[in-house]
Structure 1
């Protein structure tokens, strides 16, 4: 494994602190000064690594992608059948565990910026396409192994993620954990039907 440079370590530290402050203060209220105060450094050091707030937000969205990609990290995946692997991924996708990988408030605050910043819009699009691509690959493997009969894995992956996006949007409005889990389970059942799992 390549050794990280001091600059890479410092950038990650600034980014994770930006995220932590944004979770508490809200993205719109998080400034270089507040990040610097929490890190006990001068704001000018942050500017050394991130020219402006937009650049920092773009890096935060990439951090978001890296967090969400953990959904495909299944322990001992090589020891699982294609069916077991797919079921474990679906279990993680439609669970509060995945929802807790990244703060909804920060996510949706970043999301609103796509309407004013084309570069941020592109970053979000890349994030969603990469997640869909991960599921598409698993569906292709299952189809190739004869476990599923899907003619167009890319379309099915998009359908599952469209369902997933709507599910989490609504789940974030539910205050009772049991209600959240019930709704997630209903959506997972529908996703399995879309995929052709019985």
Structure 2
């Protein structure tokens, strides 16, 4: 039991270091040796826990998912009130969501999906997991009769298109006022799709 716990701790430390190195010099330039150098440990120790760079990349994907999971699990939300669901949408369309993970690393991961089938598969699994979390939240809200939607999967897809499109484009917007205005517009569209307002403020 203790060994497994130590292994998981070490792996998390290495993945965190991989993320920090990628953030500093770019994902494409991050290597097992550079991660070891960043941690001031022998490269063989990194190889012991992650045999290849692909394995370490898979760990990074899991790290991203863990970060995003926090958005959905905040305060143990059960989505039994309009307030809880509205808070989720607020978080999705907020700096909190956008700053969970460095944009340069995230989009470097995305760019690599065009060159590597394994990476594409891992990245798709990440996105599928995030969508599944939103579908589950909408399903609970629908069962609790706080939203009026016919298909939670379709609704989740459209909301994610709004979220991902927003951050791809807004990453190039320097004006804080323009950024906030456009983000508010898209968030309002997502909320109107859910028809939360007609169910009260919660």
> TM-score, structure 1 length as denominator?
0.91
Q: Which has the higher contact order (CA 8 A, sep 6+)?
A: 2
Alignment correspondent of 2:173: 174
How far, CA to CA, are the matches of 2:140 and 2:50 in structure 1?
Answer: 40
Task: Check conservation: 1:82, 1:141, Cα contact below 8 A.
Answer: no
Is residue 60 of structure 1 aligned with residue 69 of structure 2?
A: no
How far, CA to CA, are the matches of 2:144 and 2:67 in structure 1?
Answer: 29
Q: Out of 164-173 and 135-144, give the one that drifted further.
A: 135-144
Segments of structure 2 that go 5 or more residues without pairing to the other structure are: 198-202
Q: Out of 173-182 and 146-155, give the one that drifted further.
A: 173-182
How far, CA to CA, are the matches of 2:94 and 2:188 in structure 1?
Answer: 12
Alignment correspondent of 1:140: 139
Which structure 1 residue ranges, 4+ long, deviate > 3 Å from structure 2? none
Alignment correspondent of 1:10: 10
| Partner SS for 2:113 | helix
Task: Check conservation: 2:159, 2:190, Cα contact below 8 A.
Answer: yes
How far, CA to CA, are the matches of 2:76 and 2:115 in structure 1?
Answer: 42
- CA shift for structure 1 position 177: 3.1
Alignment of 1:116-155 (within 5 A): 116-155=115-154
Q: Structure 1 residues 85, 53: closer, same or farther in 2, change over 3 A? A: same
How far, CA to CA, are the matches of 2:110 and 2:102 in structure 1?
Answer: 12
| Superposed CA offset, 1:93-146 (max 9, x none) | 000111110001001111111122222212211211111121112222222222
Task: Check conservation: 2:148, 2:196, Cα contact below 8 A.
Answer: no
Segments of structure 1 that go 5 or more residues without pairing to the other structure are: none
Q: RMSD over aligned Cα, in angstroms? A: 1.7
| Partner SS for 2:75 | coil
Alignment correspondent of 1:51: 51
How far, CA to CA, are the matches of 2:30 and 2:175 in structure 1?
Answer: 29
Q: Out of 172-181 and 18-27, give the one that drifted further.
A: 172-181
| Superposed CA offset, 1:138-166 (max 9, x none) | 22222222222211111001110011110
| Superposed CA offset, 1:23-74 (max 9, x none) | 1111112122221112111112111111111111111011111111111122
How far, CA to CA, are the matches of 2:149 and 2:48 in structure 1?
Answer: 50
Equivalent residue pairs, number: 196
